[in-house]
Amino acid sequence: MLVFLSWSGSRSKAVAKALQGWLKKVIQAVDPWISVEIEKGKRWTPEISDRLGQSNVGVFCLTKDNLNSPWLLFEAGAISKNKEGTVCTFLLDLTPGDLENPLAQFQATIAEKEDTFRLVQSINQEVQEVQEKWLPEGDLKESFEAWWPRLEEQLKSIKAQAPASPKPLRDQREMLEEVLELLRGQAREEEARRHDALFRAFQNTSQHSGGANVSSGRDSSIDPQQRLREFLNVGQGLRAALGKDEKLPDSSGAPDGDKAKKD
């Protein structure tokens, strides 16, 4: 089961990397993922968008340095909009009272033993719900106790690091425009995939002349002309999603290019 680890800033990244190796040892069925190759403020890639869509759980590593990071909010929103997705915050040198909405709405975990075990229990429950190899409570507790000292030591080392100096605040309009562009990019990718699927369906149907039964097993009662109408109507849906001044994506479904990711 995929677990998305979100970070912003050097200390937050160190926490995410520590959790990545540790979670895999405690619950072998989970696949913790972190964009370690992509520095915040560099490039937004389709891979991150795909991972967000596939993740059942997102763990957001919060520190005093990144409480106002728009990209953490963006990724939390991307996971929470999936009704099967669970968003958890992991707090280093913070308490739940330090959080403001929307992050305050999610399950908060303080980076200490008891709270971290409750987080592990929640993740293990998600593993069970997707019918993967979850751990019985006794086995989970034993695995946690065996591996907790390692994570505890790493967290102590990270806490000892000085928080990063605050960066000058960016213009709010600029940040909103970047987030809007990312949302548009996601809409383009999604609609382009639907475009391709309908186009392939139309091609398969048009190979059969005179509305003959489809030997491949498709429902022969489906009117090929209806498939054609659905295919032609996709353009309208794309324009509605992208805005009348946007160009339609080509049939490859590729986005217009990588966008700036995180500060």
What is the chain's pLDDT, residue by residue, as a tens digit (263 residues)?
889 999 988 899 999 999 999 999 999 999 999 876 555 554 556 777 778 878 889 999 999 888 888 888 888 888 877 767 788 999 998 999 898 888 888 889 999 999 999 999 999 999 988 878 889 999 999 999 999 999 999 999 999 887 665 554 445 566 566 666 666 766 777 777 777 777 777 667 666 544 444 444 444 455 555 655 665 565 555 555 555 444 444 444 444 444 444 54
Tally the domains of the chain.
Answer: 2
Domain identity same for 119 and 245: no
Burial label for 45, CB within 10 Å (0-12, 13-18, 19+), is: middle
Domain extent for 196 = 173-208+220-260
Which residues contact residue 263 at a Cβ distance below 8 angstroms, ignoring those fewer than 6 apart? 8, 40, 41, 69, 70, 71, 167, 170
Q: Is residue 72 part of a domain?
A: yes
Task: Give the CATH number for residue 59.
Answer: 3.40.50.10140
Residue 12 shares a structural domain with residue 111: yes
